[in-house]
Amino acid sequence: VALASGKKLPQIAIGSWSGSYKQCASGQYGCVQESARFAVENWMRLGGTHVDGANDYRSQVAVAEGLKDSGRKREEVFITTKCPGAMGYRATIQCADDNLQMLGQFTDAGVG
């Protein structure tokens, strides 16, 4: 999918939602973090180019680590992230800033 910026959005992404990792009990964020890092790193090594995350998933730092550990160049990767629904202008800006910090400035698109 071509975006207005000229960048291409890959149609297939790996997600980093905690519910994707059935081996992790509810609220077991250490397990979620490690699973997200492992999944993203291996997705990149298998040739994947798109990672989807969200502030609510609590896996953004692990996503950034997996991307870094994969050895892929930043320009080869497309990252999407999300902020929770109706939260107001200032909270949305703060959420976007938080996402950028957690992802190490590693984001291409955000959804509020």
Active site residue 29: no
Q: State the catalytic residue, choosing from 21, 29, 57, 89.
A: 57
**Tokens matching residue 86:** 């109706």
Residues marked as catalytic: 57
